[in-house]
A and B are shown apart, each in its own frame.
Chain A
Amino acid sequence: MVRLFASFLALACLMPLAASAHGPTRQKVVETVEINAPADKVWEVVGNFQDMSWHPAFVKTEGTGGNDVGATRTLTLENGGQIFEKLTKYNAEGKMLAYEITEVDVKVVPVTNYSASITVTPEGDKSKVEWKSAFYRGYVNNDPPPELSDEAAVNAITGVFQSGLAALKKKLEGG
């Protein structure tokens, strides 16, 4: 009986992954930063999909396809974890790009079905950068373990956005 139960549990854990289902509540993280630099300068940095070096979390960006829709990139974290992403929209005039994660281990980033966009808006001589995302938590069924909860997912993405935007501001205002 115990064995049967254990094997049922194992099956229950595997099934949703195989079906790539997700829970009903999508999460949203939006972070913005004001940068004392012209929007063109800011876009020169964040508008290059193939170079994420402005973000301190990523030690390497490798990719193909430049800034064309459909371009891909692989971001490598300091601990070796990797995130595979695809460019889904690119609007140079509107200074906006959108991308999605095509593959990531939930141990690296505890999210699924992740998509995001970055927009640079001129405000006189300054700029506003808005980074928006939509995603589900890492655990796709009811009652997730704490490390794969909605809160864990939101905290992880909020951390990535805040540290990235702070570094971007420093890079552009410092130079």
Chain B
Amino acid sequence: MAALASTAPASAEPKAAGEAFVTNQPGDSLSIVDLASGVAAPEIRIGGKPAGIAVAPDGRFAYLTSPESKELVVVDAEKRAVASRFKVGEGPLGVAVHPAGDRVYVADWYEHKLFVVDPVAGKVAGSVEVGQSPSGVAVTADGARILTADRDSNQVSIIDARTLVRTGIVPVGKRPFGVTIDAEGRRAYTANVAGDDVSVIDLAAGKVVGTVKVGHRPYAVALTGGRAFVTDQYGGTVTVFDVATLEVVKTIEVGEYPEGIEADPAGGAVYVACWEANTLERIDTATLEVVSRIPVGNGPRAFGRFLRPHG
């Protein structure tokens, strides 16, 4: 994998994402949206009310958490089918894949742990204690560190990905839910559900260096072009702020109950799953307007990295 990457021709511009894998929680399904045409394929039935999602960096597999059946569900992205499924903990929710693709991290809402899963063997390979009700999970781009947003401890845990030792705890705002790390691994951002704000963490310093007031009930954060895009669940908006000045640039009206949000690696768009509106919405990052609303299944959450590179 590493060898492959180093011999591949260097491309200056990252390619645009090809598809979005959207978990529909009450719909109990997965919608795969072709981003060029803006059309969702017929839903794939998942089971266990899927919420979290992590598409592997190479796009071969997507890992879904189903909290009700307490499972991690592995979807073969090419075959458009469930490849395997197995039990993980008591309340799997947030999920992330290591950049190497060989480990999947699952945050357990009830057991207050982060599980390390070997997706090929289909079993839990390790775990580390974190704070109360961990929700969002993110891995630094270099694969060295894992972050969990420990919702009911109002903190972020920093874990060494190699040793699985928790090396730091950063107090943040009230009830952090989603956590997103910038491409350089310099800063992380948590959406604080009960504080209506975003905490900006300096990872080297291990502390919060800024707080940005956003809309009502922020859920998750996407980063692109020097800006952060934050879904405000109750607000029905996406708050955009400049990551250098921490000033709000715009508040964009989107479909009701926006939740999962991710930036296209090519930078032109941000995609938002709107739980109540049953849409995946595309925000143009130049105009900061919603330019398309794509119908998906019932109750899309897409909590995690849901964009898939071009196959």
> Residues on A close to B: CB < 8 A?
19-21, 23-28, 88-89, 98, 100, 115, 117, 132, 134, 141-142
Chain B residues positioned under 8 Å from A134 (CB to CB): 257, 275-276
Residues of chain B contacted by A98 (CB below 8 angstroms): 234, 236
Count of chain B residues with Cβ under 8 Å from any Cβ of A? 25
Interface SS of chain B: loop
A27 to B90, CA, bound (A): 19
Which of A25, A88, A89, A98 has most chain B Cβ within 10 Å?
A25
CB under 8 Å from chain A, chain B span 190-217: 194, 216
Partner of A26, one of B25, B216, B256: B25
User: A25-B51, A134-B275, A141-B110 are contacts. A115–B234 as well, Cβ < 8 Å?
Assistant: yes
Known pairs A21-B152, A24-B93, A134-B275 / 8 extra A-B pairs, C-beta < 8 Å: A23-B67, A23-B109, A24-B51, A24-B67, A25-B68, A26-B275, A98-B234, A134-B276
Asked if A24 and B275 make an inter-chain contact with CB atoms under 8 angstroms apart, the answer reads: no
Give how many A-B residue pairs fall within 8 Å (CB-CB).
50
Q: Is B49 an interface residue (CB 8 A)?
A: yes
Bound form: Cα–Cα A141–B109 in Å: 10
Report the Cα distance A117→B93, complex, angstroms: 27
Question: How distant is the Cα of A25 from the Cα of B67 in the complex, in angstroms?
Answer: 7
Closest chain A residue, CB of each to CB of B26:
A28
Can you identify 21 A-B contacts, CB atoms within 8 angstroms?
A19-B132, A19-B133, A21-B151, A23-B67, A24-B67, A24-B91, A24-B93, A24-B109, A25-B68, A26-B275, A27-B26, A28-B299, A88-B216, A88-B234, A89-B236, A98-B236, A100-B234, A134-B257, A134-B275, A141-B110, A142-B91
